[in-house]
Chains A and B, each alone.
Chain A
């Protein structure tokens, strides 16, 4: 019973971590940056210093994680908790306002969101009253500027900072940095972005108010570091299983859990020692160095694992409560599949023929083409094939220009209208793209480009389930 509970808890904890809703047990390789960000925030809170900084780094390197970790840490230290209602003696040490450039797409919206978050914190009454940007900005500013160093510090987190820099006039950034510099109300502005040149996006007047503190995060540089990060995400901790040291009511239960944790983490280590598994991870590392690549692998693995014994979760826990390397192999393969070829496997023979015709055209340096040209090429081939075929073999499927090729497959020249449908289907699957944005006139004559390499087309022909040899030979011809 206890084990089942453990497994369920462990699973949901790990999944939450993989989905990046929960933080991993430890920061690996980012301690330096974390310390700096934390101390910056701390100084704002403790000394009332105003600060600004930027966190830069490629996607998936842990920028947001650092910020979140720092915030949880501060929360712990300065004790503003979710149940602020109970202790409303005003002892709130700091506030956090989180904005995201993707969500707050212009300054007006951002301002509204700031107001909303402020008013929810019970700090300002102006929440819903001011609706226009020109109204609310001054009121926010007077509100902020009227404050003194003794005011509660506010920490602004600007995720996707580069998008804020693209707002007209950058007035939000300007005002925030301005407040930060004028040292009235203690605020910390922390920008997070994946654009390394984010600083260059700032206007001069904004830039000059920015403190020019930036911290960089990088993907793990060596495979060893990468593995460490990955491993870290799979470990479970006491907190994950809801072990509370305080209540010693369920002693025995706790013991089981601790044993489980130890065992589970040992298995995770074993997992990473497994050769096949290491190969899969190494491949991801070589391809992108992105921790999220590994996360996705794990998520797909969970998919597969739960497939095998979906219904009763209890069954799963008894038979295989730990992660096994073999489970990862399949999902590793699944991830590697090129979905384009996968889609192409399902196209019909007519569409394949058109693709080959296109390939023939492209090889003759005609990179843009229209349906008529492709159909003409296809017709040329079919004419020769039918002429050649009808002399050697009998006509199959009655009349109508169809013939049976050497391997017993009937080939036939399709009418233009049918071929046009197939051509449109290719365009719908975005294997073909219009060459110029707006071309008028009948669609048969619209110039198109192919989005595949000619080698890719040959590949498709090879992989196609039942491609007659005559077509395959045509595809190979130059």
Chain B
């Protein structure tokens, strides 16, 4: 059964048929005139880039030189890079996403697959990093390869808009040599049929910082060049943020809406591990979706969760503690993990690859320890593990923040700076003066009354220092507090200032005064309350007694 490219695209992207149709309609025939510019917006992970990319490679991927240039504005962070990359891509053959030796239909399929593989998954994810290493070689090696095997790729210099416009004309005219143009500028409509060139800028919001003057130019590139060029911007923010002061041409806006439940599940279904039980898997996916969808709209995050939690879900089955049909039992079993996963949502303290390695290591003893290495897919590898004793591995991620250790006195310096940053100086006398009888400890009631007196309650106590962040303090004040909270006498030989300098270089203290100023240094403490609490605990110092207006 032969599918049309359009149907193939629909198959590849569940829930995006309407958008695909709209973009295809927008493009029309290869030579059809298009509107000058289009803006595609929508939240992250809605398939904007993937859809556009695969549409282009399916519809225009076979023409040489390429009819489109796909640029990422993060990669091309100066106008010059944008110009040169665009020219390079438009002058050379389009990138093939996969093997070129397959039969035509297979190749088509492969192209779609490859795009799907790499773009559906988040780039930040280690899972994807693994996958893309095997399925899609990166940009750099490819370029080098081609340079060796084929003719030298042409890399043209282009420094400014003027040259770029000229280049665009040249490139567009390259396929119609018979119609030589002398004036270069068309006043009326030229009816010559030229294939439309597409210039796609991904993450276009970056353009506003890197090349603000370029946006109006791109919007009317078609008018400026007088050629059939269409600019497509892909971004997560709304067009209003792109408008410049003097205004300009407005693009057509196409919005990618959020996926519905059915669509999300259809996408998740593609991640079904090799040889997995589809019914069980779908039940699990349904469960994950219901639990997480309110708070996690990011499809990639849900996919990550599914891949992470599915092995745990089916573990009781593997161990023979439960049957496949016992949904309730399985549900109860997984619930605790859901709660923990909820707390770690989006955080990715350890990468999923690391996590799977860890489960692997801990399972090696009890399990046979053999992974089926032929299964390249990391998800299926995780499935193959299914070993006991490892379930907590994900949860007990190393708390990097709280493991660092400091010398004893340095800890106190840090605590003293924290106090100096968050306590008002006027109360120092009360807290830290050793001469007074009350020993500097404020009672809880005194604290509250002080807070009330300061008028904090009217503002809903949102202006307390705890919430406002650290204040700067002079080093001398901090040192005074340091000597006060340290019960014993400090030995002569410890060089306090060296310690301060090393804290600054560790970024635990932030020096506010410039480096060339040696007198009256001022600092800020940039350590969080939680960290300082663990630090204080390790030195058996009761920090809460000294903090003013903290909860």
Task: Give me the interface of A with B, judged by CB distance under 8 Å.
Answer: 11-13, 15-23, 59, 64, 68, 71-72, 75, 82-85, 96, 98, 100, 102-105, 109, 112-113, 116-117, 120-121, 162, 194-195, 242, 292, 296, 299-300, 302-307, 310-311, 313, 337, 339-340, 342-343, 345-350, 361, 364, 366, 369-370, 372-373, 376-377, 397-400, 402, 409-410, 412, 414-415, 417-418, 421-422, 428-430, 440-442, 444-445, 466
Asked whether B335 is an interface residue with its Cβ less than 8 Å from the other chain, the reply is yes
Bound complex: CA A304 to CA B24 (Å): 10
Residue from the list B252, B468, B526 in contact with A300, Cβ < 8 A: B252
Interchain residue pairs A-B with the least CB separation, the first 7: A445-B469, A22-B189, A306-B25, A346-B258, A372-B467, A307-B21, A421-B346
Residues of B near A72 (CB, < 8 A) are 187-188
Interface string of B211-243 (1 = CB under 8 A from A): 001001100101110100000000011111100
B346 in contact with A418 (CB, 8 Å): yes
B335 in contact with A18 (CB, 8 Å): no
A19 in contact with B22 (CB, 8 Å): no
Residue from the list B217, B241, B338 in contact with A397, Cβ < 8 A: B338
Q: Which of A22, A364, A373, A417 counts the most chain B CB atoms within 10 A? A: A373
Residues of A near B294 (CB, < 8 A) are 348-349, 409, 466
Residues of B near A310 (CB, < 8 A) are 6, 21, 24-25
A102 in contact with B252 (CB, 8 Å): no
Residue from the list A83, A85, A120, A417 in contact with B184, Cβ < 8 A: A120
Give 14 new A-B contacts, CB below 8 A, not counting A194-B246, A400-B340.
A15-B35, A16-B189, A21-B36, A68-B187, A85-B182, A103-B165, A299-B252, A304-B22, A307-B25, A339-B255, A398-B336, A421-B345, A442-B470, A445-B469
A441 in contact with B469 (CB, 8 Å): yes
Assuming the contacts A292-B249, A343-B42, asked whether A82 and B181 have C-beta atoms less than 8 A apart, the reply is yes
Interface residue ranges of B172-228 to A (CB < 8 Å)? 180-189, 191, 205, 213, 216-217, 220, 222-224, 226
Assuming the contacts A102-B216, A343-B43, A402-B339, asked whether A12 and B246 have C-beta atoms less than 8 A apart, the reply is no
Interface residue ranges of B330-348 to A (CB < 8 Å)? 335-336, 338-340, 342-347
Bound complex: CA A103 to CA B442 (Å): 68
Residues of B near A68 (CB, < 8 A) are 187-188
Residues of B near A82 (CB, < 8 A) are 181-183
B221 CB to closest chain A CB, in angstroms? Answer: 10
B41 in contact with A339 (CB, 8 Å): yes
A311 in contact with B6 (CB, 8 Å): yes
Q: Which residue of chain B is the closest to A71 with respect to CB atoms?
A: B187
Residues of A near B223 (CB, < 8 A) are 20-21, 64
Asked whether B128 is an interface residue with its Cβ less than 8 Å from the other chain, the reply is no
Residues of B near A377 (CB, < 8 A) are 460, 462
B400 CB to closest chain A CB, in angstroms? Answer: 12
A466 CB to closest chain B CB, in angstroms? Answer: 7
Q: Which residue of chain B is the closest to A309 with respect to CB atoms?
A: B25
Residues of B near A376 (CB, < 8 A) are 462, 467
Interface string of B80-124 (1 = CB under 8 A from A): 000000000000000000000000000000000000000000000
Interface-located stretch among B26-34, B263-271, B321-329:
B26-34
Residues of B near A370 (CB, < 8 A) are 467-469
Q: Which residue of chain A is the closest to B253 with respect to CB atoms?
A: A339
Assuming the contacts A307-B21, A339-B41, A430-B237, asked whether A19 and B36 have C-beta atoms less than 8 A apart, the reply is yes
Bound complex: CA A96 to CA B222 (Å): 19
Interface residue ranges of B415-468 to A (CB < 8 Å)? 459-460, 462-463, 466-468
Bound complex: CA A121 to CA B185 (Å): 12
Residue from the list A397, A428, A444 in contact with B339, Cβ < 8 A: A397
B335 in contact with A397 (CB, 8 Å): yes
Residue from the list B161, B180, B205, B257 in contact with A102, Cβ < 8 A: B161
Bound complex: CA A162 to CA B248 (Å): 14
Q: Size of chain B's interface in residues, with CB distance under 8 A? A: 89
B257 in contact with A105 (CB, 8 Å): no
Residue from the list A11, A109, A303 in contact with B252, Cβ < 8 A: A303
B462 in contact with A195 (CB, 8 Å): no
Residue from the list B4, B42, B187, B343 in contact with A418, Cβ < 8 A: B343
Instruction: List 28 interface pairs A-B (beta carbons < 8 Å), by A numbering.
Output: A21-B33, A21-B186, A21-B223, A68-B187, A82-B183, A103-B224, A300-B252, A305-B25, A307-B24, A313-B29, A339-B239, A340-B240, A342-B255, A348-B296, A348-B297, A361-B460, A364-B462, A366-B463, A370-B468, A409-B294, A414-B295, A414-B342, A414-B345, A418-B345, A421-B347, A441-B526, A442-B526, A445-B469
Assuming the contacts A377-B460, A418-B347, A445-B468, asked whether A347 and B241 have C-beta atoms less than 8 A apart, the reply is no
A105 in contact with B160 (CB, 8 Å): yes
A230 CB to closest chain B CB, in angstroms? Answer: 16
Asked whether B133 is an interface residue with its Cβ less than 8 Å from the other chain, the reply is no
Q: Which residue of chain A is the closest to B228 with respect to CB atoms?
A: A21
Bound complex: CA A75 to CA B246 (Å): 32
B236 in contact with A429 (CB, 8 Å): yes
Asked whether B250 is an interface residue with its Cβ less than 8 Å from the other chain, the reply is yes
Assuming the contacts A96-B183, A120-B182, asked whether A342 and B467 have C-beta atoms less than 8 A apart, the reply is no
A69 CB to closest chain B CB, in angstroms? Answer: 8
Residue from the list A23, A349, A442 in contact with B528, Cβ < 8 A: A442
Residues of B near A445 (CB, < 8 A) are 468-470
Bound complex: CA A323 to CA B450 (Å): 75
A364 in contact with B459 (CB, 8 Å): yes
B190 CB to closest chain A CB, in angstroms? Answer: 8
Q: Which residue of chain B is the closest to A120 with respect to CB atoms?
A: B184
Interface string of B150-167 (1 = CB under 8 A from A): 000000000011100110
A31 CB to closest chain B CB, in angstroms? Answer: 18
Residues of A near B345 (CB, < 8 A) are 414, 418, 421
B224 in contact with A242 (CB, 8 Å): no
Assuming the contacts A59-B247, A303-B22, A342-B257, asked whether A21 and B462 have C-beta atoms less than 8 A apart, the reply is no
Bound complex: CA A4 to CA B339 (Å): 62
Residues of A near B144 (CB, < 8 A) are none
